[in-house]
A and B are shown apart, each in its own frame.
Chain A
C-alpha cells in the first residue's frame, strides 16, 4: 500500500544542512528545536558519511506504543502525527524513538519540559488544514497543499528523498544500479521493517 517515507542516500549527502534550515524556514521552528538534523559518521576520516535525520514516520511507531496519553495518530498516508493538546511532555517517546526525533521546549525552571515537537512530514496536526491554529502549533501543512516536505524538496544533492515509499525506493534502486554502489536506505529496516533491494 502506498505510504509516505523518507530516504537519505548517504552517498550523496554532503552535510550542507539545507534540510535543517529549510525546515526552520517553512515552519519558523524556534532556536533549540531541531525537527531535522544531519549526523556525520567518521567525521574527518576516510569513510566519512552524513545522514539527514528526522522522524521517519515509522510503521507501528514505537513512540505511539509508549505514549501514556495516546496523543499519536497515523494519517491515511502513514504519516505519524501527534496532538499537542493531549501531549503532557513526559518524554517517553524520546526514549522509545530509535532516531532521536522528539524535541521538547524547556518551560520554566527546574528543566521542566514542554509539549513534544517533531517533524510533521509537513503535514500539520489535527486542526483544520492550514488554519492559524494548526500553523501555530505544528507549522505549515504542505501535504494539504499537494506539496512534499520542503527539506527533501530543497536537498542540494537530492540525497534526501520524500514521497511515496515505492517511488522513492525505485529512484534509489535505479541510482544504485547506475553508479554501482550504495550503502542502503539507512534506517528503513528499523522504521519500515523492510530494506531497498538493489
Chain B
C-alpha cells in the first residue's frame, strides 16, 4: 500500500503557492520534497479519517486511571546515546517523555529520537519468519527456520569448511549481543565476522589506535563545551548527530569559541560555523599538512608536548615542507590566506578540538587521513586535557561497543587480535579447551588469519577459493573455498559500494539469512528465488542490554515492552542457532539461559571477566544500573558524579578504560591520555604498545607522566616480569597470585595487565599511580602502515588526472585473503573522466539512518523525506538543462550503472560536485521493486541507492570503501 498519491493537482497548486512565501523565495531542499507530499500525498491520506485528526492504534488515549510504568532505554539511532523514556501501559508503549536527567541529551532528541516509539508499534516490521520458495515468500515457524538454516550451514561446513559462511553482525547490537555474535563465530570456527564499523570508522580505529593506543573518541560530546576552537572536518553533525550540536553550540556561545567547518559541501553544520572552508573532495591530507606548514613556519607548535610525548614529528616536518600555500591551493582549492587564518586560530586559541566523521574516513586514504588529523592535534598539544582531543563522532548507536567487542575480521573481543595468545586468553575466559577451539577451524593458520571484510564479501563469493584457484591468477580467495552462505544480523543491504556486483554475489549464495526487524534491501534487491530466510528480530527497545556511546560511556537499557509479533531478541536467536549447531552448552557455560533466553547481565559479566585490555572490566551491570537510576547526579560538563550521591566520583557511564574489577570502583576515563589526573581518577598516558625503542630513539615518554605516578618518566606495559623487577610482585594478594599461577604456570612472567584474569596486576600498578598499559610517546610516524607518514594520494577515480603522476594511489596488492587493486584502476581515470566529469559524494540526512530501511518504514520520518535526490550545482544543472525538482539519471563509470532520482539544484555543492544521501533503497535502475518485499513489510518510502553508482576503491589498512569521491555523469530524464 502506498500512502503517497499523485492526484489532487488543484490542492497542490493552491498550497504550493501559499507555502512559497514561507520558504523565503525559491525552494529549499525540504520545500520541494515536502510540497510534493503536502499536495499529492499529504491530504490524500486522510480520506478514511474525515473528521478526526488523531488516533492511537493500539492504545487509545492515555487512561490515567491505569498505572503507567516509566522505562528507560537508549535511542537506537546514532552514537550520541540519548536516553529515551517510555511510558508503558498494559504492555504497550503509549507515550514518550523527555529524559531531563540524562547528562548527554538532557531531555532532547532529533527527528529520529523523537519518533522511536513508532518503531515498536511497527506497522511495517517483519512479523514472522519467512522463507523464499520459488520466488514467493512463505511464512514458516521459528522452529522450522532454525532447523533448516542450521542444517544448511552444517552442509556448507562439511563441503567447504566453516570459513565459507560469512557472519555479518551489527552496530545496532547491544554490547552483549555483539559479544555473543563474535563468540558464536569463534565457536562456529571462522574469523569471517564483521559489522558496520568497517564502512564507517574502521580507518579511524586503525589510524587513532596506531597513533596513541586506543581506537576511540578521546574526549566526549559534553567535553566539547570546554573548547575554544573546534574544527569539524568531513562531518555534518547537525544532521548526523543533532543532539551533539547542543554541546557544540553551547560551547561556541559560552566560550565565544571558533567553529570552523571544513567540508566540500556547505552543510547545515557549516551554516552555524564562524568559518567555512570548502575543499575539493579527497584532499584532506594536503589541508592538514598545509595547516602544519603555517604552524611550523610560525613556531605555533607545542614544542614541550612534542618533545615529551610525540615520536617522529621530524619526519612529518619533511613531508609538510612540500605543502606550501601554492601547492595546497592547487590541489585542494583552498586559498592561502584562509589556510593561514585557520591554522593560527587552531594552534593559538586553545584548547582546540578536531571533530571528524565519515568525510575523513571513507576514502582510499582513510587511515592516512585520520593519522594526519591526529598529527595536527599532537603538533599543537591538543590531546589529553579538557576541551581538546580527537572527538570522533561515530555513527550507529553501538558501533563503538560492537567494535570494542570484536565484531571484526582482525580481532577477538577487546582488540586482543587473533594470535595464539589471544585465543588462549579468550579460551581461558570461556573456560573452553584451546585444542577444541582450534578443531573448530579449518586450520590453525586460518584461525590466526584475518577474515574477509564486509566491503568485499561479494568478491569472496564470486572468486574461487584455494581449491579451485587454478587459472584465476591473483583473483582468488585465500581460504579453502569461497563464500556459500551469509548470515546477516541487523545490517542493511544497500550500504556497501559496487551494488551491481553485490547483486551477482547475492544471487550466487546458496544460503542467505537476514535476521532483522525489517526485511532490508537484501530481501528484494536480487533475483534470488530460493534459499533466503528472514528472521524477525526485535529492536534494542524490546530487550535488556548495555550500549557504548561514542564517548566510551556504557549505558544500560531496560526492556520497554516484550518483542512484538513473533520477533525474538538477538540473544535468543543466536542461542537457538548455537543449540541447533550443537555447541550451545559449551558456549553458554557461564551464562544463565531461561526458556531459551540468555541473561543479558550474565553476558556483560563475562565481558567484564575478559576485556582487560580496554578496561571493560569495571562496568558491571549493577554499576551501570546505578548510573541510570542517578543520571541527574552527574555534572553536564565534567560528567562526574556529584559528591554525596551514590555515584560520587564516577564518570557517567564509566567511559572505558574502567580499570580493574567492579569492586575496585574505578570511575572510568572521561578524557583519554589525561596526565593531569591520577590513573585511579581517570588519568592516563599514551599507550606503550609499539615497543620501547626504535632506531636508537626511545618510544617511551620523556619527563611526562600521569599525576601521582611513582615512575616519573616513560615506562613499558606491565607484566609479571616488570612487576618482579620493580619489586611490586609481592603486593599481589594470595588469590590473585594463585589465579595467575593457575593460568600461566611456568610462563608466569608472561602474565600481563591485559591477560591476568584476577585483575591483580592492574590493581597493584594503579596503587603506584601507574597506568597498566605503560607510558609511551604517541607516534607521528607509524612505521607499520603503508604510508608511515601520511602522503597525499589522488582518489582512485579522480577528475584531476593531471595530479595522478605526482600523487598516485598505491600499487595493486593483496590483503584480507583478497586481491586489492589500486593503480590499475586509477589509470582508468584518464579515460573515464571524459564521460563522467562530476565528482560524486554521499552523506546523511537527519530523518534517516544507515541503509534507511528502519527509518523509511517510520511514517513520521518518511513523511519528511519522500524522494531520493541528487544535489547538483546550478552551473552544472544549467549546462544539462536540469530543473530543480525534475527527474534525472545519474550514471557511474563501472558496470554501466545508472539510477533515477530527483534533482535538487543548489549552491550547497560546488560546481563539478554532486551529492546524494545514502539512505535509500528499493528501486533499481529506475525500477520500483516494492512488490518484491514480503507483503506488508515494504518501507513507506523507497528510492535508488547511491551505492548502485559508487565504484571500486579501498583503504589498504582496513578495506574501508571509497564513498566520498568517485565520478558520475548526470542527465535529465
Contact = CB atoms under 8 A, between A and B. Distances in A.
B205 interface: no
Interface SS of A by simple majority: loop
A1 interface: no
B579 to A, nearest CB: 39
Interface string A149-162: 01001111110000
Q: Which of A16, A27, A48, A179 has the most CB of B within 10 A?
A: A16
A114 interface: yes
A115 B49 CA distance: 11
Contacts of B860: 20-21, 24-25
Contacts of B41: 31-32
Contact of A14 (B19, B53, B272, B863): B272
Interface string A62-100: 000000000000000000000010000000001000001
Q: Which of B109, B253, B859, B906 has the most CB of A within 10 A?
A: B109
A19 B115 CA distance: 10
Interface string B25-57: 010111100100110011111110111111111
Given A44-B907, A137-B53, A153-B107, A22 B61 contact: no
Q: Which of A11, A26, A32, A34 has the most CB of B within 10 A?
A: A32
B859 A21 contact: no
Contact of B54 (A12, A18, A41, A138): A138
A107 B54 CA distance: 15
Contacts of A17: 110-111, 846-847, 864
Nearest to B863: A31
Given A136-B55, A158-B246, A178-B253, A106 B907 contact: no
B114 A18 contact: yes
Contacts of A155: 108
B95 interface: yes
A141 B51 CA distance: 19
A168 B682 CA distance: 38
Contacts of B111: 16-18, 20-21
Interface stretch (B162-170, B177-185, B235-243, B828-836): B235-243
Interface stretch (B3-11, B429-437, B707-715): B3-11
B488 to A, nearest CB: 28
A4 interface: no
A156 B54 CA distance: 25
Interface string B48-83: 011111111100111010000000000000000000
A14 B245 contact: yes
Interface in B229-262: 238-239, 242-243, 245-246, 249, 252-254, 256
A46 B276 contact: yes
A114 B51 contact: yes
B271 interface: yes
Interface string B916-948: 000000000000000000000000000000000
Contacts of B271: 14, 46-49
Contact of A114 (B50, B56, B115, B252): B50
Q: Which of B49, B111, B118 has the most CB of A within 10 A?
A: B111
B23 interface: yes
B557 interface: no
B253 A30 contact: no
B108 A115 contact: no
A101 to B, nearest CB: 11
Contacts of B113: 18, 154
Nearest to B237: A14
Nearest to A44: B908
A108 interface: yes
Contacts of A26: 95-96
Interface residues of A, number: 70
Given A39-B23, A48-B271, A156-B242, A32 B52 contact: no
A171 to B, nearest CB: 13
A160 to B, nearest CB: 10
A42 B269 CA distance: 14
Interface string A115-159: 101000000000000111011111110000000001001111110
B266 interface: yes
A189 B57 CA distance: 40
A112 to B, nearest CB: 9
B861 interface: yes
Q: Which of A28, A38, A135, A175 has the most CB of B within 10 A?
A: A28
A127 to B, nearest CB: 11
A132 B860 CA distance: 22
B633 to A, nearest CB: 21
Contact of B242 (A16, A137, A140): A16
B249 A140 contact: no
Contact of B8 (A12, A16, A111): A111
A104 B39 CA distance: 11
A92 B42 CA distance: 20
Q: Which of A18, A49, A132 has the most CB of B within 10 A?
A: A18
Contacts of A48: 266, 268, 271
A21 to B, nearest CB: 4
A45 interface: yes
A25 B415 CA distance: 41
B45 A31 contact: yes
B46 A105 contact: yes
A40 interface: yes
Nearest to A32: B42
A33 interface: yes
A39 B46 CA distance: 24
Contact of B28 (A27, A43, A138, A154): A43
B47 A107 contact: yes
B22 interface: yes
Contact of A32 (B45, B54, B96, B245): B45
Nearest to B52: A136
A157 B23 contact: no
A175 B54 contact: no
Interface in B107-138: 107-115, 117-118
Contacts of A20: 111, 860, 864
Q: Which of A40, A84, A139 has the most CB of B within 10 A?
A: A40
A104 B50 CA distance: 10
A20 B724 CA distance: 63
B98 interface: yes
Contacts of B861: 21
A28 to B, nearest CB: 5
Contacts of A44: 28-29, 266, 871, 906-908
A130 B268 CA distance: 39
Nearest to B29: A43
A117 B53 contact: yes
Nearest to B106: A158
B18 interface: yes
Contacts of B253: 175, 178-179
A154 B107 contact: yes
Interface in B706-757: none
Q: Which of B56, B860, B906 has the most CB of A within 10 A?
A: B860
Given A30-B49, A31-B42, A40-B24, 14 more contacts: A14-B268, A21-B864, A22-B109, A31-B46, A31-B859, A41-B24, A41-B28, A48-B268, A105-B53, A135-B62, A139-B54, A154-B109, A157-B242, A157-B246
10 contacts: A20-B864, A32-B37, A33-B42, A40-B23, A43-B906, A48-B266, A107-B46, A135-B61, A153-B108, A178-B254
Q: Which 9 pairs, one residue from A and one from B, show the smallest C-beta to C-beta distance? A: A32-B42, A135-B61, A44-B908, A43-B28, A106-B43, A17-B111, A105-B46, A179-B253, A16-B242
Interface of A: 11-12, 14-22, 24-34, 37-50, 53, 84, 94, 100, 104-108, 111, 114-115, 117, 130-132, 134-140, 150, 153-158, 175, 178-180
Interface of B: 3, 8, 10-11, 18-19, 22-24, 26, 28-31, 34, 37-38, 41-47, 49-57, 60-62, 64, 95-96, 98, 107-115, 117-118, 238-239, 242-243, 245-246, 249, 252-254, 256, 266, 268-269, 271-272, 276, 846-847, 859-861, 863-864, 871, 906-908
